[in-house]
Amino acid sequence: MDVYEAVDGRRAVRAFGDEPVPREVLERVLTAATRAPSSGNLQPWHAYVVAGEPLAELKRRATARALAGDPGDEREYPMYPAELTSPYTDRFAAAAAQRYEALGIERDDPERPMKIAALNSRAFGAPVVLFCYLDETMGPGQWADAGMYLQTVMLLLRAEGLHSCPQVMWTMYRKTVNEMVGADEGLVLFCGVSVGFEKEGTPRLRTGRADTTETVSFVGM
């Protein structure tokens, strides 16, 4: 697959089919992804790939917490800055409105947070979830490395005909995830990435993007 096609085709899919993902495909993707940029070649990421009955049990436990109204575990890092301003708040609101509509959840539904949490905790039906961790001693540069690693993984998944959905939501249930995957002491859960084949017949959502004139400045050319 052409790189431009992979970038254009990558999106957060929130409806996966039951078709299993072959282990050899995931091994091929994750081996290739080791070439992702890494400052000082630290390669600070550690991935746990979960499928089968262990994933089914994890989904059951996380969903039970979501449906019980569990607010989740104390965050180890903030998902967003405490004070967002325009244009970031505008982009956030627009994307959220599109996403809720696609999921069939009314914006003024009083049970919206619980419904969204339950959908997330089921990994949108994905047969595989990759959990990305970093050592707690790592700083902003290494977190940026982990982001580049995950982007590389997601683009390679597209080359294999697979889709994905990065989910920071899993950090809300990090203690449950840690217990299920057997995460080493001193690791911080960055996010989960649901992986699978897109469910057929599902409406496709593509959130808008800011024009490059808003985010790019050319200097000296």
CA distances from 110 to 1, 113, 115, 159 (A): 43, 8, 10, 40
pLDDT reported for residue 97: 75
* Whether 7 contacts 155, CB under 8 Å: yes
pLDDT reported for residue 40: 97
| Sequence letter at residue 176 | T
- pLDDT mean values, one per 10 residues, the chain (221 residues): 91 93 98 97 98 97 91 91 90 79 68 76 96 97 98 98 96 96 96 96 78 94 93
Q: DSSP readout, 96-115?
A: HHHHHHHTT--TT-TTHHHH
* Whether 97 contacts 107, CB under 8 Å: yes
